[in-house]
Amino acid sequence: MRVVTWNLWWRFGPWRERRRAILSVLRELRPDLVGLQEVWAAGDENLAEWLAGELGLHCTWARSPSPERWRRRIGDEGDGVDIGNAVLSRWPVAEQETLLLPTPPDLADGRLALYARVAAPAFDVPFFTAHLTSVTHASAARRAQVTALAGFVARYRTGTPFPPVVTGDFNAWPDSDEVRVFGGTRTAPAVPGQVLYDAWDYAAPTAPAATWTPENPYAARALEPPARIDYIHVGLPGPTGEGHVRKVWRAGHGPVDGVWPSDHAAVVADLAKGQSASVSNA
């Protein structure tokens, strides 16, 4: 089962050209489940729905209730444009729920977590995608957000042998307090007893990891160091190895026909479907 997480950089930059580049990357990956952040919608157009239609996938979309700050960043072009999270899935979505992540008033711009219970053939998959605040110094705000997110995961993770899969742009480095608290393997977890492995821990030690890097011309403008800030977290494997991380890597980290798809690279993970962790069922 192939899982992707990707921040699509909303309607910034050459967005018309970028959406074709995004589609090209996803088409090559052939994912089963995709968590998307910074998805735009305007009138009858919705980037996630268009991608789903082109890829033959189901789509679930959650609109942010506070797009105003985003719209101001692109001026008149932002009038009527919404932002939100989305899930693309090879299988139908049996239920969904949205969580508005807690944010101090001075930073509030409608960051969300979206839950989709995906009805895969052999079991349901509790799938989540989230977008945390990006302000560099706001680790305390992100800690509150991951605490709420962990509770959200705990509420919907049960009733299936497949572990919860949490994707998203956390805007935080792997050794940050917020990522450690969310995972629960390097400090006490936000929800007692709930462990969520960082899929990248299964990557090859020399694999390029940065998803936000000055190699990308859109990200280079921020003059920030390279960092891995986008994640796929997976709960403890099920009784026959369901959800075990078989492979993980970056994608979308270069131009497509001269166009970089986003300011973030995507993260891709192949998860075992079950039977045993020693047999590849990805």
Instruction: Give the Cα separation of 94 and 79 in Å (integer).
Output: 33
- Positions of the chain with pLDDT under 70: 276-282
Q: Does the pTM exceed 0.85?
A: yes
Question: How confident is the model at residue 157, as a pLDDT?
Answer: 97
Question: How confident is the model at residue 280, as a pLDDT?
Answer: 39
257-266 per-position pLDDT tens digit: 999 999 999 9
Question: How confident is the model at residue 279, as a pLDDT?
Answer: 39
Instruction: Report the CATH fold assignment for 2-271.
Output: Deoxyribonuclease I; Chain A (3.60.10)
How far is residue 193 CA from its own chain's centroid?
23
At a CB cut-off of 8 Å and minimum separation 6, what does 174 contact?
198, 200, 228
Question: How confident is the model at residue 277, as a pLDDT?
Answer: 44
In the chain, domain spans: 2-271
165-202 per-position pLDDT tens digit: 999 999 999 999 999 999 999 999 999 999 999 999 99
